[in-house]
Amino acid sequence: MIVIALYNLKGGVGKTASCVNLAHLSSADGYRTLLWDLDPQGAAGYYYQTQPPTKGGVRKLLEKELSLDELVQYSRYDGLDVIPADKSARKLDILLDEQKGSKKQMRQLLKQAEHSYDFVFIDCPPGFSVLADNVFEAADIVLMPAIPTTLSVRTYDIVKEYFEDKHLDLGKLMCFFTMVDARKSLHTEVMHTLSADRRFFEHYIPYLSEVEKMGLHQAPVTAFAPSGRAATCYRDLWTEIKEGIL
């Protein structure tokens, strides 16, 4: 089982859209796939038209009142299951902080799924937190989308420094560009600069209206517009990610 966490220090970078589409592509390739929505906004679960099966599910999971599979919901897509976010996710940092050895709690919870799934995708909320530390420990890959702007360069450097300060495996950190507008010279310049760091994948996701329509369709763009440019870009990126980690 390979755990891929979609993370960025800041929001609004296409993190959830990428998580939703990559998970769908994983299942379409025949991999048993789980998407765990840990972002309190619950957008990933919304895109897959799933609802939390119980109130306070994450809290009950940490307090061992529920098992992980009791939170799993089937999606409309074969081989793809979802754990939707519930309101208790807003307090997840506090709940984890109350646990002994809190940085390893997520890893322990995910062990419950290791014989059921090939890939687990985690949609993480932005920011540094106890939850982020847990996810960094539990994930095999921390996949960071980045809009190619000057601020993203700074954010990328901050995340790398955080990994180093926390003695985390920097080899886990992999990145790709998203919401790219190739007509903007700043975007192309930043992509050229950061691509020198071999943590960035070659394929990227352009800024496309198809991705914005995911909310209308409540579905991955790779499902409702599989022949469109956005789906093609996600498919190329997923192929490159697989080549990098399998």
Question: Does residue 101 have a pLDDT over 60?
Answer: no
Query: From CA 92, how far away is CA 59, in angstroms rounded?
Result: 7
Compute CA distances 154 → 8, 71, 149, whole Å.
12, 37, 9
Which pTM does this prediction carry?
0.95
Residue 83 is predicted with a pLDDT of: 96
For the chain, the average pLDDT equals 92
| Secondary structure (3-state) at 159 | helix
Query: Left, alpha or beta for 31 (phi > 0: left; psi -120 to 50: alpha)?
Result: beta
The three-state secondary structure class of 55 is coil
Tens digits of residue pLDDT in 29-74: 999 999 999 998 899 999 999 998 888 788 888 888 899 999 999 9
Q: Is 6 left (phi over 0), alpha (psi -120 to 50) or beta?
A: beta
CB 148 within 8 A of CB 187: yes
Convert the pLDDT of each residue in 173-225 to its tens digit: 999 999 999 899 999 999 998 888 889 999 999 999 999 999 999 999 999 99
What are the structure tokens assigned to 45, written together?
């679960």
Q: Does position 159 have pLDDT exceeding 90, yes or no?
A: yes
- 180 DSSP assignment: B
**231 Cβ contact partners less than 8 Å away, ≥ 6 residues apart:** 21, 210, 221, 222, 225
E-strand stretches of 7-161: 33-37, 73-74, 80-83, 119-123, 141-146
